[in-house]
Amino acid sequence: MYNFDKLLDRKGTDCLKWDMAEKVYGHEVIPLWIADMDFEVLPELQEAMIKRASHPSFGYTAAAPAYRENIIAWNKKRNGLEIAKEDILPVPGVVTAIAFALNALTKEGDQVLINTPVYNPFASTIKGSKRELVTSSLKLVDGKHVMDFADMEEKMKNGVKMMILCNPHNPIGRVWTKEELNQLVELCAKYNVYLFSDEIHSDIVYGGHKHCSILTVSDKAKEISFCAMAPSKTFNIAGLKSSMFIIQNPEIREKVSALINAYHIGIDLFAYKATEVVYGCGEKWVDELNEYLYENAKFVTEYCETKLPKVKTYVPEGTYLMWLDFSAYGLSQEELMTKLKDEANVGMNSGATYGEEGVGFARLNIGCPRSMLEKAMNQIKEAFDKL
């Protein structure tokens, strides 16, 4: 059994989440914001990093065969996704992958569709690449967020060239089903829209839900869509900058790969080694992690139901991010975030960051020991009980 209850002091490690929190929030807070976790990494990973670092040579690196073999075996076993070696294009980040895909497959001024609220670099990368941002709000049906296919079709009719999907979805925690994804693929195919599926959260799935990679949906999906994934969220190694495209359509792969080569972008030797090691021996760690995160999610949901009933939330299907609705307090977004940071002393992300649908909401990162989460929830309760 791995010990996810253990408190890990990350201060002084150039850690964005902890060492920058004071600058971002103005004073010390419990930092439950940016999406990485406060758990020790897989022990075999730390050992492998130390072993490699102890060899006094850091020259140009060729990936060991096990790098690709382990990515392939992991995806086959966990998600039934069959990948060939050549389908894998390493890139440092998934956001880097979004930028490459936009620039390789669309041109300036082209329309790119996203479902809001969603991870904010989707919008900023589209705008930063001088493409036109088109949004379609997720809608709530029977308490569950779903895609608004009628609205998306209207938008696709007007000339959308690419859609960027978050699968599973940050921040609302949906793990899209095969039926939903199939409907999306059919729609994209009808209007000649490339479908980019960001699957960075694909391993953090619990409560009986199962991740469905876009590439397992149908043959049509393999033709028009591709995905990016990474061990970074799963194994808490975002600082090592290892991500990858999986592209099964050779024409799309050729275009993306030509651009990556033109920029001479690769990943470093620690990124290769870490990826090889975690996918090679991290299964039990991830299974236990998911159990722990599921309990954290249930804890927060029950806490709100019983002690903070004006805060509405739910157990997500995946990700270690929770979407908390504070709108019943009638505060402006600025008042809400000020109260959270200055009175509750908890660093959360403003819901408005993810789109206008997020006004009244804040995103909570539950990737931490339960005692830390409990302390944060108690502090939130104390601050909001005064209202």
Contacting positions for ligand PLP (CB under 6 A):
35, 93-95, 119, 166, 170, 198, 200, 230, 232, 238, 243
Strands 243-246 and 346-347 turn out to be: unpaired
Q: From CA 185, how far away is CA 14, in angstroms rounded? A: 41
Neighbours of 378 (CB within 10 A): 14
Q: From CA 214, how far away is CA 212, in angstroms rounded? A: 6
Reported as half-sphere exposure (CB side, CA atoms, 13 A), residue 184 has a value of 32
CB nearer to ligand PLP: give 3 or 124: 124
Q: Residue holding tokens 């990485």? A: 36
Q: Per 3-state DSSP, what percentage of the chain is helix, strand, and coil (rounded to 5)?
A: 50, 15, 35
Residue type (1 letter), 314: Y
CB nearer to ligand PLP: give 94 or 308: 94
- Alpha helical stretches, state H, 40-158: 43-53, 65-79, 94-105, 121-128, 149-157
Q: Residue holding tokens 């931490």? A: 368
Shortest spacing between CB 209 and ligand PLP, in angstroms: 17
Residues in the chain: 387
Shortest spacing between CB 96 and ligand PLP, in angstroms: 6
Please, is 271 exposed, middle or buried when counting C-beta atoms within 10 Å of its C-beta (0-12, 13-18, 19+)? buried
Q: From CA 355, how far away is CA 251, in angstroms rounded? A: 33
Q: From CA 73, how far away is CA 271, in angstroms rounded? A: 18
Shortest spacing between CB 40 and ligand PLP, in angstroms: 20
CB nearer to ligand PLP: give 103 or 345: 103
Shortest spacing between CB 46 and ligand PLP, in angstroms: 20
CB nearer to ligand PLP: give 198 or 317: 198
The token duo for 59 is 């020259």
Q: Which of 171, 141, 165, 143 is nearest to 152 (CA)?
A: 165
List Cα–Cα distances, 33 to 30, 363, 364, in angstroms: 9, 7, 6
CB nearer to ligand PLP: give 95 or 156: 95
Shortest spacing between CB 359 and ligand PLP, in angstroms: 20
Shortest spacing between CB 231 and ligand PLP, in angstroms: 10
Shortest spacing between CB 367 and ligand PLP, in angstroms: 11
Q: From CA 282, how far away is CA 71, in angstroms rounded? A: 12
CB nearer to ligand PLP: give 15 or 166: 166
CB nearer to ligand PLP: give 138 or 308: 138
CB nearer to ligand PLP: give 166 or 217: 166
3-state secondary structure of 352: helix
Shortest spacing between CB 57 and ligand PLP, in angstroms: 27
CB 251 within 8 A of CB 14: no
Shortest spacing between CB 35 and ligand PLP, in angstroms: 4
CB nearer to ligand PLP: give 48 or 204: 204
Shortest spacing between CB 246 and ligand PLP, in angstroms: 14
CB nearer to ligand PLP: give 35 or 336: 35
Q: From CA 331, how far away is CA 336, in angstroms rounded? A: 6
Which residue's CB comes closest to ligand PLP?
A: 93
